[in-house]
């Protein structure tokens, strides 16, 4: 297959490009490098089945040219990280909604199977964990900017499923639950790389809130396996939504303690109130746990990497960066 990845120079996209090329596919990447990095894909330049364009999705000519050669599109380009979402809400909403609209319009032209990356944030403040794809969603008020991100990604889902129903476009929606691994940056508030870097430098590990909130962390290699398998099964997965994530739950304070232990660090833990870390009135969710029954039944996927293995992998990579 020939696959176009928008946002392919980012954390997940670059790992997906690696995996698809390794199995013999051809890959093109479109990325404006606003949050991605050329370093993530530099090692792929010599591969004759790889190409890239440093362009924004709003460049319709570049998007059209790359999509015209593609069998499938994986749309990963989006605003990322809580800090970016809170500080730049207009950019967040416009990037997500207009980007998905542009991709779906081009996908219709060339009949590309399209995977749209969504997020567990769309479950909002629901307390009905573990979250299933058909659950009702409960978002907070528009006066709280973080809900703009969830609403924009939910609109992406509606656009994708509408294109499937109205035009027969094979569209698959994936909801990511805290994907982590090498190449992820802590620049936008991502918790695991931030903890790891603080621990390796002997700095206090900063926990936002009281640390009792819980999350599930999935190694990027497991997520990439799921995406590749979904690409191979458009007849099964088109018009469907799938949770992708680990269902192993851990509190943030326990995560911090595990990072410190596995990094053999002397760091202490420092608690920072949400209003200091983000903005007054910031809301966080107590739990984020996926029900992965649906994707397991559809393609036989479940995570392989344990949290300990995942943390060790990230720590080793970050330690090499610091020492190198």
Confidence of residue 128 (pLDDT cuts 50, 70, 90): confident
Q: SS3 of 151, please?
A: helix
Provide the total of helices (H) and of strands (E) in the chain, helices listed first: 12, 13
Would you give the distance in Å from CA 170 to the centre of its chain? Answer: 21
Best CA proximity match to 215, nearest among 165, 189, 179: 179
Q: Are the beta carbons of 242 and 177 closer than 8 angstroms?
A: no
Q: Flag whether the pTM goes above 0.85.
A: yes
Q: Which of 149, 242, 274, 278 is catalytic?
A: 149
- Walk me through the domains of the chain, giving residue ranges and CATH numbers: 2-180+218-246+288-304 (3.40.50.720)
Percentage of residues in the chain with pLDDT exceeding 70? 96
Confidence of residue 280 (pLDDT cuts 50, 70, 90): low
Q: Are the beta carbons of 216 and 246 closer than 8 angstroms?
A: yes
**How many Cα atoms are found within 13 Å in the side-chain-facing hemisphere of 266?**
1
**How many Cα atoms are found within 13 Å in the side-chain-facing hemisphere of 123?**
26
Q: Please state, rounded to an integer, the average pLDDT across all residues of the chain.
A: 93
Task: Return the bridge partners of 208, or none.
Answer: 272
User: How far is it, in rounded angstroms, from Cα 64 to Cα 55?
Assistant: 12
Q: What is the pLDDT of residues 69-111, one digit of tens each?
A: 999 999 999 877 666 677 778 888 888 999 999 999 999 999 9
Q: Are the beta carbons of 173 and 157 closer than 8 angstroms?
A: yes
Task: Return the bridge partners of 214, or none.
Answer: 251
Token pair belonging to 183: 């190449």
The pLDDT of residue 181 is 96
Give me the residue label for tokens 């991502």. 190
Q: Are the beta carbons of 8 and 36 closer than 8 angstroms?
A: yes
User: How far is it, in rounded angstroms, from Cα 162 to Cα 182?
Assistant: 35
Q: What angle do CA 259, 260, 262 make, to 5 degrees?
A: 65
Pick the range with the lowest mean pLDDT from 217-226, 280-289, 298-307. 280-289
To the query of whether residue 149 is one of the catalytic residues in this protein, the response is yes
Give me the residue label for tokens 């990322």. 80
Q: What is the pLDDT of residues 237-253, one digit of tens each?
A: 999 999 999 999 999 99
């Amino acid at each position: 297959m020939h696959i176009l990845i928008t946002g392919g120079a980012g954390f997940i996209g670059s790992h997906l490009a690696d995996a698809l090329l390794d199995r013999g596919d051809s890959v093109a990447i479109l990325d404006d490098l606003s949050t991605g990095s050329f370093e993530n894909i530099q090692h792929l330049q010599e591969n004759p089945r790889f190409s890239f364009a440093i362009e924004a999705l709003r460049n319709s000519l570049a998007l059209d040219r790359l999509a015209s050669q593609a069998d499938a599109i994986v749309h990963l380009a989006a605003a990322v990280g809580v800090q970016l979402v809170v500080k730049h809400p207009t950019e967040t909403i416009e990037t997500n909604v207009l980007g998905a609209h542009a991709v779906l319009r081009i996908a219709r032209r060339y009949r590309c199977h399209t995977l749209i990356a969504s997020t567990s944030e769309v479950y909002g403040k629901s307390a009905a964990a573990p979250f299933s794809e058909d659950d009702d969603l409960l978002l907070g008020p528009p006066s709280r900017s973080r809900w703009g991100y969830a609403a924009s990604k939910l609109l992406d889902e509606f656009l994708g499923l509408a294109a499937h129903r109205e035009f027969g476009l094979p569209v698959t929606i994936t909801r990511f639950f805290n994907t982590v691994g090498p190449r992820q940056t802590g620049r936008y508030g991502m918790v695991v790389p931030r903890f790891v870097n603080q621990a390796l430098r002997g700095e206090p590990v900063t926990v936002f809130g009281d640390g009792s909130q819980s999350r599930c962390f999935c190694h990027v290699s497991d997520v990439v396996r799921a995406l590749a398998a979904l690409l191979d099964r458009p007849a099964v997965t088109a018009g469907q939504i799938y949770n992708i994530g680990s269902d192993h739950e851990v509190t943030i304070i326990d995560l911090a303690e595990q990072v410190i232990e596995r990094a053999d660090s002397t760091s202490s833990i420092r608690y920072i109130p949400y209003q200091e870390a983000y903005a007054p009135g910031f809301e966080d969710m107590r739990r984020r746990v996926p029900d992965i029954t649906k994707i397991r039944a559809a393609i036989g996927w479940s995570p392989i990497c344990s949290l300990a293995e995942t943390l060790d992998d990230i720590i080793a990579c970050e330690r090499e960066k610091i020492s190198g």
